[in-house]
Amino acid sequence: YLQEECLTQERRQLIASLPTEKGWVANHLHQYQGFWHTTRQLLAVLTCQNQFQAQDTDILLVTTPKSGTTWLKAIVFALMNRVQYPNPEVKHPLLAENPHVLVPFLELELYIDNRVADFTTFTSPRLFGTHLPLVSLPDSVKNSACKLVYLCRNPKDTFVSLWHFTNKLRTKDMGENSLEETFDKFCRGVCLYGPFWDHVLEYWKESLKKPERVLFLKYEEIKEQPKVQLVRLAQFLGCPFSAQEETNGVVDEILKLCSFDTLSNLEVNKTGKLVSGEEYKAFFRRGEVGDAKNHLTPQMMEKLDQITQDKLHDSGLIF
Ligand code: A3P
């Protein structure tokens, strides 16, 4: 892949004009529309903003990185395809493919590396994943009636998950990033699609303004009450579970299929990798709430709590 191909004169000038910081894995992060992107991803964001044509029936799964994107993709895919696969334990695409393949990312997959995005294999409603902040969504998304499901996770666990994940993406030569160095960056908002708090807050406000358009979910809430959240999700997406489905255990079946244990133990997820090189197993680590306390000092925990309080204090959103 030649990054040069994506770099028109206009884009070069734009990138040169943006604030830059050293990335966690890539050399550079650029702050575009208030949020940080690697050079490669920023180019894809620009292409996606220019080219993506949303349809009213599209469903966008929007997440902050490491908030449970893989899980959400699996759940919504299983939910929307439940009629086609009535016996998911025996036959289901999720048993043979990673959720990121079944629900591709807009900017990180379909438009990456100057690709001509191919939508011919999609059936309606089309399902896409994205980490784009609200401000950077393509105009066609803003102007259509498509639905957005937003998922986030408490900042402490998100940070710890991101620290582990990015260290897995670093080569042996690069060595691992120290917890302290990346913690400082995360607190300053300098991480992929950060600042974390701004990302969450934009979608939180939008979900209050347009509840029929944006459903706001938290990882911890799905962990705590998976059935309640799945029923809520189905209602929001216009395909509620019938009484018969509920008594037949369809809700439980979907949750079991998409559970950490089931997905992480599948052959495909133990051995496969994305075209872009990330091993599927990197997306499954512990899948628990509260793991941050095993890695962060009490001072670090306090600092993140303080930032969270400062940033979200009058929003009604709490973690
Ligand atoms: P941990 O690193 O805390 O274990 P994303 O999918 O957005 O990249 O997020 C990855 C995080 O979600 C990881 O968190 C991963 O273990 C967890 N995860 C992946 N699949 C999951 C599932 N089916 N259920 C719950 N958590 C899951």
CA 263, chain centre distance (Å):
17
CB-based burial, 221-237: b 16+ in 10 Å, e otherwise? bbbeebeebbebbbebb
Structure tokens at 256: 């079991």
Model ipTM value? 1.00
Atom of ligand 1 nearest to the CA of 70: 6
* Domain boundaries defined on the chain: 53-312
Mean pLDDT calculated for residue range 101-130:
94
Question: Half-sphere exposure of 71 toward its Cβ, with a 13 Å CA cutoff?
Answer: 30
Q: Is 196 in the pocket of ligand 1 (CB under 6 A)?
A: no
Strand-strand pairing, 28-32 and 20-22:
antiparallel
Q: What is the structure's pLDDT at 245?
A: 97
The CATH code belonging to domain 53-312 is 3.40.50.300
pLDDT at 2 over 60: no
Kindly give the distance from the C-alpha atom of residue 286 to the centroid of ligand 1, in angstroms, as a whole number. 7
Confidence of residue 275 (pLDDT cuts 50, 70, 90): confident
Cα separation, 85 vs 89, whole angstroms: 9
Mean pLDDT calculated for residue range 171-189:
96
- Residue 219's identity, in one-letter code, is Y
Q: What is the structure's pLDDT at 276?
A: 79
CB atoms within 10 A of CB 90: 8
Kindly give the distance from the C-alpha atom of residue 16 to the centroid of ligand 1, in angstroms, as a whole number. 35
Q: What is the DSSP string of 229-267?
A: HHHHHHHHTT-PPPHHHHHTTHHHHHHHHTSHHHHHTSH
Q: What is the structure's pLDDT at 5?
A: 62
* pLDDT single digits (tens) 14-36: 999 999 999 999 999 999 999 99
Cα separation, 244 vs 70, whole angstroms: 28
* pLDDT single digits (tens) 55-70: 999 999 999 999 999 9
Fill in the DSSP letter of residue 208. Answer: H
CB atoms within 10 A of CB 266: 17
Specify the 3-state DSSP secondary structure of 313. coil
Kindly give the distance from the C-alpha atom of residue 288 to the centroid of ligand 1, in angstroms, as a whole number. 8
Q: Is 70 in the pocket of ligand 1 (CB under 6 A)?
A: yes
By annotation, the residues acting in catalysis are: 131
Ligand 1 atom 22 nearest Cα: 260
* pLDDT single digits (tens) 126-171: 999 999 999 999 999 999 999 999 999 999 999 999 999 999 999 9
Q: What is the structure's pLDDT at 6?
A: 65
Kindly give the distance from the C-alpha atom of residue 3 to the centroid of ligand 1, in angstroms, as a whole number. 30
Query: What is the best residue among 79, 284, 295 to mutate for testing ligand 1's pocket, by most ligand atoms within 8 Å of CB?
Result: 284
Phi, psi of 229, deg, nearest 5? -70, -35
Dihedral sign for Cα atoms in the order 140, 145, 149, 150: positive
Structure tokens at 98: 């990673």
Cα separation, 72 vs 103, whole angstroms: 10
Q: Is 263 in the pocket of ligand 1 (CB under 6 A)?
A: yes
Cα separation, 131 vs 65, whole angstroms: 7
Q: pTM for the complete prediction?
A: 0.97
pLDDT at 4 over 90: no
* pLDDT single digits (tens) 225-243: 999 999 999 999 999 999 9
Confidence of residue 8 (pLDDT cuts 50, 70, 90): confident
Strand-strand pairing, 127-130 and 59-63:
parallel
Q: What is the structure's pLDDT at 185?
A: 98
10, with CB counted inside 10 A (0-12, 13-18, 19+), is exposed
